[in-house]
Amino acid sequence: MNDRRAPSPHDTTADAGQGNVADSMSAQTRLVHVGRHPRQQHGMVNTPVYRASTVLYPNLAAYLNHDQEFEYGRRGTPSSRAVEDVITSLENGAGTRLTPSGLSAISCALMSVVGAGDELLVSDSIYEPTRIFCNGYLARMGVTTRYYDPGIGAGIAELLTPATRAVMMESPGSLTFEIQDLPAIADALRGRDISILIDNTWATPLFYRPLELGADIVVHAGTKMFVGHSDAMFGTITANRSHWDRVKTTHGDMGLCAGADDCFLAARGLRTLAIRMKEFNTRALDMARWLEEQAPVRRVLHPGLASHPGHAIFKRDFSGGGCTFSFALPKGPEEAIHALFDGMELFGIGVSWGGYESLIILPQFTNNRTVTSLPEDEQLVRLHIGLEEPDDLKADLKKGLERYRTFLD
């Protein structure tokens, strides 16, 4: 296959009578135009769903020389390329590959930078399935994983050994929302053969640009913000130029690919990402501020709040926030938390986030903390703030908090 670099805004045209989408265009404009080629699709605005395995060649020479853009369905189609181009443009990367889920994107990215005998440093606040993959599969493959305090910053230099080959982080952490000082970590690792990987699902490249702050590989659970409608599983991996060949090769060797229909749903979702992220940022922060004033809430874990320990770094490195955050209640009897959850009318009890519907979950910390701990007298609750009327959501939460309080008095 002629596995060329996924196009950047320099070589991507919307073909919608607007000309080339150049670097001067805003991210919101790129989301609308990059990856679409109506002139190549009989004038259709959206790239069609290409369900393909076999791709034909015009002649034997083209087959022998791998002389065409698409050669086999698993290795890419116009449906997947439409999404790859958008993500590469937004992240300012060298290329992007798509996977069937966020976890498969994380797994592939990690396997592209570590091997037997290597050591991996992972944030203690990492997405729990990442921890399971590291402690299970990578351990069986001879990779040692050590966990670090997400607030370590430049202090990560003290944890390095000759075997350290990569650092995996998520900022903020998906349950406890610690913000990491990526520039400080990148400076501490400068000049060493150590890769930096980061999960950027929460903020998206609209609000956070990790490759520009020192990361080498960025992954997304595209299931969430990119798809945006809770109806497709999807993952993305974007790398800088020094790591792109590694990611591309590992992705191909593992036989990963996202389904054509999921690519279409992701492309559809991306076109409205900027508008949704603007709303999510405003709504979640407003809800977080409101919750800070509600009884019996002890604290709210949203990095956009001045009370958050990582707020200064958030203000410096991020231009906005995502749709999820957590809050802490004083620990109560089991009946209290059931009363809070089971009486909710608008907040559905379900994992994931990023869709239009609001969600509530009870974070579990049985096996996913190694070097940090949480107050034992607190009960953590995580919210995803959807697109319902904010006052209706507040009323639903207020009733839930009142139910919880009755068990504390």
Tell me the pLDDT tens digit for each residue of 278-300.
999 999 999 999 999 999 999 99
List the structure tokens of 397: 């939460």
Are the beta carbons of 27 and 88 closer than 8 angstroms?
Answer: no
Query: 160: exposed, middle or buried (C-beta count within 10 Å: 0-12, 13-18, 19+)?
Result: middle
Same domain, 229 and 89: yes
For 146-196, the pLDDT digits (tens) are 999 999 999 999 999 999 999 999 999 989 999 999 999 999 999 999 999
Same domain, 97 and 234: yes
- The reply to whether 376 falls in a domain is yes
Same domain, 278 and 396: yes
Same domain, 341 and 238: no
Same domain, 4 and 90: yes
91-100 average pLDDT score: 97
**Residue 181 catalytic?**
no
Domain boundary (224, 248, 271) is at 271
**Residue 224 catalytic?**
yes
Same domain, 226 and 324: no
For residue 23, what pLDDT band results from cuts at 50, 70 and 90? low
Marked catalytic residue, from 36, 81, 127, 283: 127
**Residue 147 catalytic?**
no
- The reply to whether 47 falls in a domain is yes
- The count of domains in the chain is 2
Are the beta carbons of 277 and 318 closer than 8 angstroms?
Answer: no
Around Cβ 303, how many Cβ atoms within 10 Å?
Answer: 25
Same domain, 235 and 317: no
The DSSP symbol for 7 reads P
For 360-404, the pLDDT digits (tens) are 999 987 667 889 888 889 999 999 999 999 999 999 999 999 999
CA separation for the pair 121, 167 (Å, rounded) = 5
Is the pLDDT score of 8 beyond 90?
A: no
List the structure tokens of 260: 């054509």
Marked catalytic residue, from 124, 199, 317, 396: 199
- The reply to whether 229 falls in a domain is yes
- The reply to whether 160 falls in a domain is no
Same domain, 283 and 386: yes
> Which residues, in sequence order, are bridge partners of residue 145?
120
Same domain, 43 and 89: yes
List the structure tokens of 361: 């979950």
List the structure tokens of 327: 């809050």
Alpha helices in 310-389, H assignment, sequence order: 311-317, 334-342
- Sorted by sequence, the CB contacts under 8 Å of residue 273 that are 6+ apart come out as 31, 204, 206, 225, 226, 228
* Mean pLDDT estimate for the chain: 91
Q: Is 144 helix (H, G, I), strand (E, B) or coil?
A: strand
List the structure tokens of 228: 């945006």
Q: Write the DSSP string, 24-80.
A: TS-HHHHHHHTT--GGGGTT-SSPP----SB---SSHHHHHTT-SS--BGGG--HHH
> Which residues, in sequence order, are bridge partners of residue 123?
148
Same domain, 306 and 385: yes
- The reply to whether 354 falls in a domain is yes
Are the beta carbons of 219 and 106 closer than 8 angstroms?
Answer: yes
- How far out from the chain centre does Cα 378 lie? 27
User: What is the pLDDT at residue 398?
Assistant: 98
Which domain range does residue 334 map to? Answer: 274-405
85-91 average pLDDT score: 95
The type of residue at 206 is L
Same domain, 281 and 325: yes
Domain boundary (256, 271, 286) is at 271
Q: List b or e across 326-365, with b for residues whose CB sees 16 or more CB atoms inside 10 angstroms.
A: bbbbbebeeebbebbbeebebbeeeebbbbeebbbbeeee
Marked catalytic residue, from 36, 224, 248, 382: 224
- The reply to whether 174 falls in a domain is no
Is the pLDDT score of 3 beyond 50?
A: no
Marked catalytic residue, from 3, 57, 74, 75: 74
**Residue 5 catalytic?**
no
- The reply to whether 358 falls in a domain is yes
Residue 323: closest CA among 388, 269, 253, 368:
388
For residue 25, what pLDDT band results from cuts at 50, 70 and 90? confident
Domain boundary (255, 271, 287) is at 271
Residue 305 is part of a domain; what is its CATH number? 3.90.1150.10
The type of residue at 317 is D
Question: Quick check: pTM over 0.85?
Answer: yes
Are the beta carbons of 182 and 213 closer than 8 angstroms?
Answer: yes
Same domain, 365 and 386: yes
Are the beta carbons of 236 and 220 closer than 8 angstroms?
Answer: yes
- The reply to whether 211 falls in a domain is no
Around Cβ 78, how many Cβ atoms within 10 Å?
Answer: 19
